[in-house]
Amino acid sequence: MTKTGKLKIQWGHLVLLAIIAGWILAYLLDARATSMRVSNLLLVQPVAILALILVLVLVPQCFVREQPNDNTLAANNQDTPPAKETPLELAKIGILTAAFVALAFLMERIGFDVSVFAFLVLGLYICGERNWIANLAFSAIFTVALIYGYGAIIPFPFPLAVL
C-alpha cells in the first residue's frame, strides 16, 4: 500500500461529476431565485446541498494511483475504469451516440421516415453489418413497420417527409 505508482486522472469521470454538479448548482440557484419561501425550498435546498457535498467527496476518486505491481488490488479496486475498449470501439460508441442524439433532436423536423431510415442504415453499419443489401432492406422494412405499427395505435400522427 505504498504511495508509489503514477497518478492517473479519469477525465471522463471528472466530466461526469462536473455535469452533475453543474446542473445541481444551477438548479439550486434557479430555485432560490424563484422564491426563498419554505414551500419552495423545503426539499430542493437540503437535497441539493447534500448532493454537492457528495460530489466533493467523490472528486478525489477521479485521481487513481496506478499500482502496476499489485494486480489483485487493481482487480478489486472499484475505481479502475470498468471499460477497457480499444480506441476504435470507443469511437463506434461515440458515433452511434452522436447519431442517436441527432436523430432525437431532428426527427420531428426532418420527418420520422427519412431520419429513422438513415439512422438505421448508419447504426447497422457501425454495429457491424457489412452486407448493404441486407442493411438497406432491413432498415426500410423496419422503418415502415414501425411507422404504421405505432401510427395505428397512438392518438396522434407522426411527422413524415415521404411516406
Partner 1 sequence: MTIKYNRRSLLKLTGGTLAAASVASPSILFAQDSYPSRPINVVVPFDTGGYNDRLARAFAPFLSQRLGQPLNIINRGGAGALLGHSYFLQQPDDGYTLLCTSAAPFLPLNVLTQNAPFAVTDFHMMNLPSRDYTMMATSTESGITSIEDVINQLKADPRSLTIGIQPASADLVNLMLLADTVGISRDELRLVTYDGGGPARNAVAGNVVDIALVGGQGFLPLADKIVPLLIFDDAPRDNWGSAIVTEVAPGADFVLGSQRGWGVHASLVEGSPEIYQTILSAVEETSKAPEVIEALSSAQLATDWFGPEVSNRSLLATAAVMEQHLSILQGS
Partner 2 sequence: MIDLAELSDAFTILSSSWSAWIFVIPGLLLGLFFGSMPGISITMAMAIFLPMTLYMDFLPAIIFLTSIYTGAGFGGSVPAILMNIPGTSSAVATTFDGYPMSRQGRHNEALGIALASSVIGTLVSYILLMFLIEPVSGIVLKMGPLELFFVAIWGLMLLGSLAGESIARGLLAGTFGLLLGTVGMNSAGYIRGTMDIPWLLDGVPTIPAMMGLLAASQLLNLVNTKHLIEDEDLRRISMRKITGGFREAFQHKTIIGRGALIGVVIGSIPGVGSSISNLLSYSEARRNAPDGDTFGKGNPKGVIAAESANSSSEGGAMATMLALGIPGGGATAILLAAFAMHNVVGGPSFIANNKDVVYAIIMSNFAQALLLLGVGLGFVYIASYIVRVPMRYLIPSVLVVALFGSYAINGTASGPITLAVFSVIGWGMVRYNYPVAAAVVGLILGNLVEGNLLRTYQISGGELAYALERPGALLILALMVVSFGLSAFSKMRRKRKAGVQMGAS
Q: Which residues bind partner 2 (CB under 8 A)?
A: 10, 12-13, 15-16, 19-20, 24, 26-27, 30-31, 34-35, 37-40, 42-44, 47-48, 50-51, 54-55, 57-58, 61, 78, 81-83, 85, 89, 92-93, 96-97, 100-101, 103-105, 107-108, 112, 116, 119-120, 122-124, 126-129, 138, 142, 146, 150, 153-156, 158
Residue of 68, 52, 60, 72 lying closest to 9 (CA atoms): 60
Are the beta carbons of 111 and 161 closer than 8 angstroms?
yes
Q: Which does 47 bind (CB under 5 to 8 A by kind): partner 2, partner 1, none?
A: partner 2
Given the complex with partner 1, which of 11 and 156 has the nearer CB atom?
A: 156
Q: Which does 132 bind (CB under 5 to 8 A by kind): partner 1, partner 2, none?
A: none
> In sequence order, what are the residues at sequence separation of 6 or more whose Cβ sits closer than 8 angstroms to the Cβ of residue 18?
none
C-alpha distance from residue 28 to each of 6, 19, 104, 146, 158 (Å):
37, 14, 28, 41, 37
- CB of residue 2 to partner 2, shortest distance in Å: 24
Q: Which does 133 bind (CB under 5 to 8 A by kind): partner 1, partner 2, none?
A: none
Residue type, 30: D
> In sequence order, what are the residues at sequence separation of 6 or more whose Cβ sits closer than 8 angstroms to the Cβ of residue 6?
65, 66
Alpha-carbon gap, residue 115 to 50, rounded angstroms? 42
Backbone angles phi, psi at 132, to 5 degrees: -65, -35
- CB of residue 49 to partner 1, shortest distance in Å: 24
**Which of residues 2, 39, 78, 86 is near partner 1 by CB under 8 A?**
39
Residues that bind partner 1 (CB under 8 A): 35, 39, 155-157, 160-162
